[in-house]
């Protein structure tokens, strides 16, 4: 079968189209014909190499996957051949205390397709039955692949970590990212006022179209000052952050008293400072967030399947043009998800 893999860390040039053996599913697994696989910044980080993390080569990237069930193992009861499905991006042991408590994203064996295990840049893959989620006929493969990781991440950030309440004020940094566009939509769905940031007029217009009440250009303006102005100088109840060093100072200064900043990434760097005087005097919270639980994925996908939350697709590329897709993502030219069609 066809696949795109890496044999070493490096730039987009290390992605290579190859023929590999077809997988043989175990009794508790389903064989999936991949139709679409969306890119995430995780793909770039794994391709480039993550300090302190070792990957077995050759390695197949890709966490966000949609396709068809081709065959099922003898122990599978819930899925059947012919189903149109997407995959939960994370896998856990399903046997530890955290998994039993429904905190599977905290499992010591938690891993993502495309990182801890081989991902979706290939035609066929065998996956545990519990990771398979049927999708409605009205949802295309490309849109389905664009949904799981970013909507799950944004949902977990807003509700499990920040404890979002209807009517609160939310700042979403970098609304053009997958997590950003998901967070804007979720916050608006729950009747919040959303201030978003985006780079350039085109991306700002798209952020407004998603529902953002105010959009600030984070390239041309004093971001911290503009965010305070946009929140009537009170600040936001919740700030959704994943950019890191480049926006951290502005993001923390945009917090209201008792505000909660939730971060799930460090795209521009991780070495940030915190003024503890403001943190304790204003009783603010800085919260880390990583992925989300399988139950949360099913919760948020309900709204996707009903059309109340919409995956945003920037562009599509054939599997064989994965290098060009990576180059577009790396150049930050996208708004929404870049998807490989397999």
Could you tell me the residue range of the domain that residue 203 belongs to?
151-288
Q: Is residue 305 situated within a structural domain?
A: no
Q: CA quadruple 327, 330, 335, 337: dihedral positive or negative?
A: positive
* Domain co-membership, 131 together with 41: yes
Total of domains in the chain: 2
Q: What's the pLDDT score for residue 222?
A: 86
Same domain for 155 and 86? no
Q: Is residue 27 situated within a structural domain?
A: yes
Residue with tokens 């926006």: 247
At which residue do the structure tokens 């209201």 appear?
256
The pLDDT value given to residue 9: 97
Q: What distance in Å separates the CA atoms of residue 243 and residue 295, rounded to the nearest whole number?
A: 27
Residues 6+ apart with CB under 8 A from 255: 235, 236, 239, 261, 282, 284
pLDDT of residue 306: 97
Any domain includes 22: yes
Same domain, 214 and 114: no
Q: Is 169 left (phi over 0), alpha (psi -120 to 50) or beta?
A: beta
Whether 78 is in a domain gets the answer: yes
For the chain of 342 residues, list the mean pLDDT of each consecutive stretch of 10.
98 98 96 98 96 93 98 97 98 97 97 97 98 98 98 98 97 94 97 95 94 91 88 94 92 96 91 92 96 98 98 97 97 92 97
- Whether 162 and 56 map to the same domain: the answer is no
* pLDDT given at position 190: 97
Round to whole Å and give the CA distance between 100 and 93.
Answer: 10
Q: Are residues 240 and 330 in the same domain?
A: no
- Quick one: 179 and 208 in the same domain? yes
3-state secondary structure 241-288: ECCCHHHHHHHHHCEEEEEEEEECCCCCCCCCCCCHHHHHHCCCEEEE
Same-domain status, 170 and 193: yes
b vs e for 61-71, b when ≥16 Cβ sit within 10 Å of the residue's Cβ? bbbbbbbebbb
Whether residues 132 and 244 share a domain: the answer is: no
**301 in a structural domain:** no
> Do both 70 and 26 map to the same domain?
yes
Dihedrals φ, ψ of 189, to 5°? -60, -30
Residue linked to tokens 């004093």: 222
Calpha distance 109→103 (Å, rounded): 12
Other C-beta atoms closer than 10 Å to the C-beta of 153 total: 27
In a domain, 331, yes or no: yes
Q: Do the domain assignments include residue 296?
A: no
CATH number at residue 6: 3.90.180.10
143 and 6 inside one domain: yes
Q: Judge whether 31 lies within some domain.
A: yes
Q: How far apart are CA 3 and CA 320, in angstroms?
A: 8
pLDDT of residue 221: 73
Residue 145 and residue 278: Cα distance in Å, rounded?
A: 41
164 with 247, same domain? yes
Residues 20 and 139 placed together within one structural domain of the fold: yes
């Amino acid at each position: 079968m066809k696949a795109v893999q890496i044999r070493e860390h490096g730039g987009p040039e290390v992605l290579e189209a190859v023929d590999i053996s077809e997988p043989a599913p175990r009794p508790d697994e389903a064989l999936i014909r991949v139709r679409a696989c969306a890119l995430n910044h995780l793909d770039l980080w794994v391709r480039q190499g993550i300090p302190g993390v070792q990957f077995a080569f050759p390695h197949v990237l890709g966490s966000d996957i949609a396709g068809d069930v081709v065959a099922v193992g003898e122990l599978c009861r819930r899925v059947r051949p012919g189903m149109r499905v997407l995959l939960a991006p994370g896998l856990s042991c399903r046997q530890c205390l955290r998994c039993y408590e429904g905190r599977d994203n905290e499992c010591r064996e938690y891993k993502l397709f495309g990182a801890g295990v081989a991902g979706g840049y290939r035609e066929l893959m065998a996956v545990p039955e519990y990771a398979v989620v049927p999708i409605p006929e009205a949802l295309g493969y490309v849109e389905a692949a664009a949904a799981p990781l970013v909507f799950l991440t944004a949902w977990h950030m807003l509700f499990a970590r920040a404890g979002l309440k209807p009517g609160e004020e939310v700042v979403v940094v970098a609304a053009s990212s997958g997590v950003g566009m998901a967070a804007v939509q979720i916050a608006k769905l729950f009747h919040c006022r959303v201030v978003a940031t985006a780079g350039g007029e085109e991306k700002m217009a798209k952020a407004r179209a998603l529902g953002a009440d105010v959009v600030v250009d984070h390239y041309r303006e004093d971001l911290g000052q503009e965010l305070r102005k946009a929140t009537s100088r009170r600040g936001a109840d919740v700030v959704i952050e994943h950019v890191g060093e480049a926006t951290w100072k502005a993001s923390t200064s945009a917090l209201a008293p008792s505000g909660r900043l939730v971060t799930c990434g460090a795209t521009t760097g991780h070495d940030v400072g915190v003024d503890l005087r403001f943190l304790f005097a204003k009783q603010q919270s800085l919260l880390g967030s990583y992925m989300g639980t399988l139950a949360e994925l099913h919760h948020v996908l309900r709204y996707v399947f009903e059309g109340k939350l919409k995956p945003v697709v920037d562009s599509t590329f054939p599997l064989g043009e994965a290098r060009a897709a990576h180059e577009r993502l790396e150049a930050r030219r996208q708004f929404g998800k870049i998807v490989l069609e397999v």
